[in-house]
Structure 1
Amino acid sequence: MAKPSQLAVFGNPIEHSRSPEIHAAFAEQAGMQLFYSRILVPEDEFESTVTDFFDAGGLGCNVTVPCKGDAWKFVDEATGDAELAQAVNTISRREDGRLKGDNTDGPGLVSDLKKNLGWPLKDRRVLVLGAGGAVRGVLSSLLKEAPVQVHLYNRTHATAVELVDRFSQIDAQPSRVSAVEKAELADGYDVIINGTSAGLADQRIDLPANIVKRDSHCYDMVYGRKAQAFLNWAQAHGAGATSDGLGMLVEQAALSFQIWFGHEVNTAPVIQMLRESEFS
């Protein structure tokens, strides 16, 4: 019998990661064996921790906060999306031993929005809240979907301006993406995506109510309890549909699985399994 493939997710904290459950479900679909572990990365020890994993025979790994930037610096080569984001969430070992970095967060988000939720992005007016690593990792994929307008709002405006400047250089229609101050937020966006850490810290949502309209779709990139503050706010202000980022978590994992093994998996039953376990 072939030895199970060695995979892992690296981060800090890491004990609550659901990646092992997700990839175990994917492996069952694909009829293969794998061993997927959670590995805590001590501060300033990402390179040595991941090197030890691959030296011991690791096939590939996922990387979560706060290590995605470290992973981008660590890999031997990175895909275009990872270079733009300056962040890597998936590392694979090539046949020549070199380590390749990818970022599946953006494609995972878009897949959840379009495939699972049925929320189109083409020709839509989109507001993205935040300008940190989470947003950096998905902005390129959002722009590829041809929204008519993308506004970035961040409490530190200069950070949003810097991000827009970087992505405008590669966008075919740079004028459609802009950083806005709170007073410049428009009425009634079609899609609002929260990529801030507000949900993680249970901070008060300080946004004008007019950004939401009756058919606005509001999405938080985190999932479960951590997303409730923003989603409750959106529902209270009349949003037509809301969702947390559980589907994004599964979709980006499915893309990682495909990078490692070449298998496309069915994400719907895995999302359902995780959703049911939240309430069990």
Structure 2
Amino acid sequence: MDRYAVIGHPITHSLSPQIHTLFAAQTTQSLTYEGIELPLTSFETRLWQLIKEGYLGFNVTMPFKGDAFDFVDELTERAKRARAVNTIKILADGRTIGDTTDGVGLLNDLQQHLKWTLEDTHILMLGAGGAVRGVLEPLIEANPASLTLANRTLEKAEELADDFPEITPCSFAELSGRFDLIINGTSASLSGMLPPIPESLINPGVKCYDMMYSAEPTAFLKWATSLGAVDLSDGLGMLVGQAAESFNYWRGVSPEVQPVIDELRQRLTIAT
């Protein structure tokens, strides 16, 4: 059977093995998919070992998306602009191609699953890390009226604006105004924390999306709910959507996303 894996550090929390196992069953593809934790200091050496063992592709999660970008022989156009790789494909001749599917996963979740309109809307993105970098180009291509990127450190937001001049950078302290959609791309939810943004940004009409996910609403979504927001979602749909894009990149088959989202949501609920 063909072998695939998600690589990261740590990796025990990853739902990717469950997702791709469900995709394989749904599409009758003969493959195995596992989670492999790589040492922080020997990414390239360990990855070459896995390729020699016969793995045909990898998903890449924290903290190795930048390492994967440097590792591969070729890059897709969207990976070049994002300067990050979350999907690696091994060709028959041994060459490696890097892609980024996070942006597709986010856009599909927002537009197809949630049915949220992005065109001509005012979007606020929170955070300037690798997860955010990978989704900016698809968000820009959705043609919003404006895309503001706020970060604790203004310099990091400005660095992204250098690569993506369509965005408006600012610090959290400078935030003001009214937005139609706020996307939390910070890692604050992983530790139950909140990005330091003013309560005035939250109103009953604003849509709030957290790129993190959990069985219970994230701290950001709980906070937004307490301030009157009613259209909210975590990032589980994004996770499954980016995985589906990776699966199709490797196998040439597009799995159905919604049944897998529903199955995982049920499993998360049962686990709690």
Question: Which residue number corresponds to residue 269 of structure 1?
Answer: 259
Asked whether the equivalents of residues 128 and 151 of structure 1 are also in contact (C-alpha less than 8 Å), the reply is yes
Matched, 1:152 2:149: yes
Q: Deviation at 1:136?
A: 0.6
Q: 2:239 aligns with which of 216, 225, 249?
A: 249
Q: Deviation at 1:227?
A: 5.8
Question: Which residue number corresponds to residue 13 of structure 1?
Answer: 10
Question: Which residue number corresponds to residue 178 of structure 1?
Answer: 168
Aligned partner letter, 2:226: A
1:279 partner SS: helix
Question: Which residue number corresponds to residue 106 of structure 2?
Answer: 109
Question: Which residue number corresponds to residue 250 of structure 2?
Answer: 260
Question: Which residue number corresponds to residue 54 of structure 2?
Answer: 57
What do you get for the CA RMSD once the two structures are aligned? 1.3
Aligned partner letter, 1:191: L
Asked whether the equivalents of residues 173 and 197 of structure 2 are also in contact (C-alpha less than 8 Å), the reply is no
Report the Cα distance in structure 1 between the residues aligned to 2:8 and 2:51, rounded to whole angstroms. 16
Question: Which residue number corresponds to residue 118 of structure 2?
Answer: 121
Report the Cα distance in structure 1 between the residues aligned to 2:210 and 2:127, rounded to whole angstroms. 11
1:128 partner SS: strand
1:42 partner SS: coil
Choose 183-192 or 130-139, whichever is displaced more: 183-192
Report the Cα distance in structure 2 between the residues aligned to 1:118 and 1:279, rounded to whole angstroms. 24
Asked whether the equivalents of residues 200 and 226 of structure 1 are also in contact (C-alpha less than 8 Å), the reply is no
Give runs of ≥4 in structure 1 deviating > 6 Å. none
Q: Deviation at 1:185?
A: 2.3
Q: 1:239 aligns with which of 223, 229, 237?
A: 229
Question: Which residue number corresponds to residue 133 of structure 2?
Answer: 136
Aligned partner letter, 1:212: I
Matched, 1:206 2:196: yes
Choose 70-79 or 234-243, whichever is displaced more: 234-243
Report the Cα distance in structure 1 between the residues aligned to 2:40 and 2:230, rounded to whole angstroms. 42
Q: So what's the TM-score if we normalise by structure 1? A: 0.93
Question: Which residue number corresponds to residue 45 of structure 1?
Answer: 42
Question: Which residue number corresponds to residue 171 of structure 1?
Answer: none
Between the two proteins, the alignment pairs up a number of residues equal to 270
Percent identity for Structure 1 against Structure 2: 47
Aligned partner letter, 2:243: A
Q: Deviation at 1:275?
A: 0.2
Residues 12 and 208 of structure 1: CA distance in aligned 2, closer, same or farther (over 3 Å): same
